[in-house]
């Protein structure tokens, strides 16, 4: 009985000590959120909320912000993020990994509040943040039913976004600034060029931005990045849209006019539908399309599914796009203003 009583007393003492530890840390976390918001103001980032609450006792710390708002006024045109509820939870033994959630979704805008130039919304958001060193982090966000409106409206059933930030900022063009991966499924476009139909089945890509990106106006920041030797490495691309399937990788840079130039290698199935879409959109003449089909047909071999498949290159040079030896027409231009 004495041994059992001693064990019970010890357990009560440990439980009391842990409870005190939990509530002390919870109070520091709540204070830390306010200190974090103060630190962000030094970067022209305004973070506000209606209420903050720390819960999750005893096996987690969960921070909940209601009516959270983040406003970026550092560089025009500015941006704003709103979440009705944002929560982040971590285990007491590992504060470097946080699971985040916005069960009521998010709403983000770019540009003036009264006349935004772009909007992003999602029905729900879930994700995680794993910290590495003082500056590095790995971020994953899963968006359910995201919608992007920027002149046109693009919606998807699901989109997963991953960001990897290095522990040290890039110093030269050979240093990584950020790595981004996107996987989106069932993407509805404003209009699908014949013979394609909505939605796009899937798009997955991974890119790495090399070189430092300076703060400032988009045109000036892009010019400084180009002049320092910055490039965009397309680590992987996989697109499937009906009979069309494209895979590839390559490098993109900016020319003296701040327009993209690049070279990619990969494989394509269903190229006939792609050529038909270019003709339907007026980017290729019917006569050129016949020659393109003939040239590509000579390069094609049966793919894994039996469809004609070609391993070829895709280039953007002097404002023109080419698929292997076939010219596809003018490349879309970037409007920096």
Same domain for 163 and 217? no
Opening angle at CA 163, ends 156 and 199, nearest 5: 15
Percent of the chain at pLDDT exceeding 90: 45
Radius of gyration over every alpha carbon of the chain, rounded to an integer in angstroms:
25
Domain residue limits at 129:
1-168
Q: Check residue 265 and give its pLDDT.
A: 93
Residue 337 lies in a domain: no
Same domain for 59 and 147? yes
Same domain for 204 and 314? yes
Domain end, chosen from 168, 194, 223, is at: 168
**What is the Cα–Cα distance from 328 to 313, expressed in whole angstroms?**
12
* Three-state DSSP state, 47: strand
At 24, which CATH number? Answer: 2.60.450
Instruction: Over range 145-155, report the average pLDDT.
Output: 92
Q: Check residue 337 and give its pLDDT.
A: 67
Same domain for 282 and 187? yes
Q: What is the pLDDT of residues 19-49, one digit of tens each?
A: 787 788 888 888 888 888 888 787 788 889 9
What torsion do the CA atoms of 261, 239, 182, 192 make, to the nearest 10 degrees?
90
Same domain for 315 and 185? yes
Same domain for 164 and 309? no
Same domain for 221 and 127? no
Residue 130 lies in a domain: yes
Structure tokens at 260: 């993209």
* Residue 78 backbone zone (phi > 0: left; psi -120 to 50: alpha; other: beta): left
Comparing 12 with 81, which gets the higher pLDDT? Answer: 81
Q: What is the pLDDT of residues 271-290, one digit of tens each?
A: 888 888 888 878 788 888 88
**What is the Cα–Cα distance from 300 to 270, expressed in whole angstroms?**
10
**What is the Cα–Cα distance from 246 to 201, expressed in whole angstroms?**
12
Same domain for 87 and 27? yes
* Three-state DSSP state, 245: strand
Percent of the chain at pLDDT exceeding 70: 93
**pLDDT averaged over every residue in the chain:** 87
| Nearest by Cα to 213 from 182, 184, 249, 180 | 180
Residue 70 lies in a domain: yes
Residue 195 lies in a domain: yes
Q: What is the pLDDT of residues 216-246, one digit of tens each?
A: 778 888 999 999 999 999 999 999 999 899 9
Domain count for the chain: 2
Structure tokens at 51: 């209420």
Opening angle at CA 154, ends 151 and 159, nearest 5: 135
Q: What is the pLDDT of residues 160-171, one digit of tens each?
A: 999 999 988 888
Residue 200 lies in a domain: yes
Write the DSSP string, 71-135: EE-SSTT-EEEEEEEEEEEEETTEEEEEEEEETT-EEEEES-TTS-SEEEEESEEEEEEEEETTT
Same domain for 193 and 143? no
Q: Check residue 76 and give its pLDDT.
A: 63
Same domain for 185 and 75? no
* Residue 111 backbone zone (phi > 0: left; psi -120 to 50: alpha; other: beta): left
Same domain for 164 and 184? no
Domain end, chosen from 118, 140, 168, is at: 168
**What is the Cα–Cα distance from 121 to 10, expressed in whole angstroms?**
52
Same domain for 94 and 115? yes
Residue 103 lies in a domain: yes
Domain end, chosen from 111, 142, 168, is at: 168
Residue 96 lies in a domain: yes
Comparing 13 with 154, which gets the higher pLDDT? Answer: 154
């Amino acid at each position: 009985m004495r041994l059992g009583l001693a064990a019970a007393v010890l357990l009560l003492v440990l439980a009391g000590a842990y409870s005190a530890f939990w509530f002390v840390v919870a109070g520091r976390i709540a204070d830390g959120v306010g200190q974090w918001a103060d630190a962000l103001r030094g970067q022209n980032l305004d973070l506000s909320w209606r209420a903050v609450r720390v819960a999750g006792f005893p096996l987690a710390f969960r921070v909940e912000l209601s009516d959270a708002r983040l406003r970026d006024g550092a560089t025009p045109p500015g941006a704003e993020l709103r979440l009705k509820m944002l929560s982040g939870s971590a285990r007491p033994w590992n504060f470097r990994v946080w699971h985040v959630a916005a069960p009521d979704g998010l709403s983000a805008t770019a540009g003036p509040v009264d006349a935004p130039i772009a909007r992003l919304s999602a029905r729900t958001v879930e994700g995680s943040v794993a910290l590495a060193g003082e500056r590095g982090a790995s971020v994953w966000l899963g968006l359910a039913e995201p919608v992007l409106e920027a002149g046109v409206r693009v919606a998807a059933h699901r989109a997963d976004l991953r960001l990897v930030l290095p522990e040290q900022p890039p110093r030269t063009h050979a240093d990584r600034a950020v790595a981004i991966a996107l996987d989106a499924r069932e993407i509805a476009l404003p209009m699908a060029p014949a013979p394609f139909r909505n939605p796009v089945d899937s798009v997955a890509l991974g890119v790495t931005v090399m070189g430092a990106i300076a703060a400032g106006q988009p045109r000036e920041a892009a010019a400084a990045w180009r002049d320092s030797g910055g490039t965009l490495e397309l680590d992987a691309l996989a697109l499937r849209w009906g009979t069309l399937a494209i895979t590839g990788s390559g490098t993109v840079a900016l020319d003296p006019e701040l327009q993209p130039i690049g070279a990619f290698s990969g494989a394509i199935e269903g190229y006939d539908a792609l050529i038909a879409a270019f003709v339907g959109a007026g980017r290729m003449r019917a006569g050129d399309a016949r020659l393109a089909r003939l040239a590509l047909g000579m390069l094609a071999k049966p793919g894994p599914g039996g469809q004609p498949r070609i391993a070829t290159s895709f280039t953007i040079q002097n404002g023109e796009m080419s698929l292997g030896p076939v010219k596809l027409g003018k490349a879309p231009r970037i409007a920096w203003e």
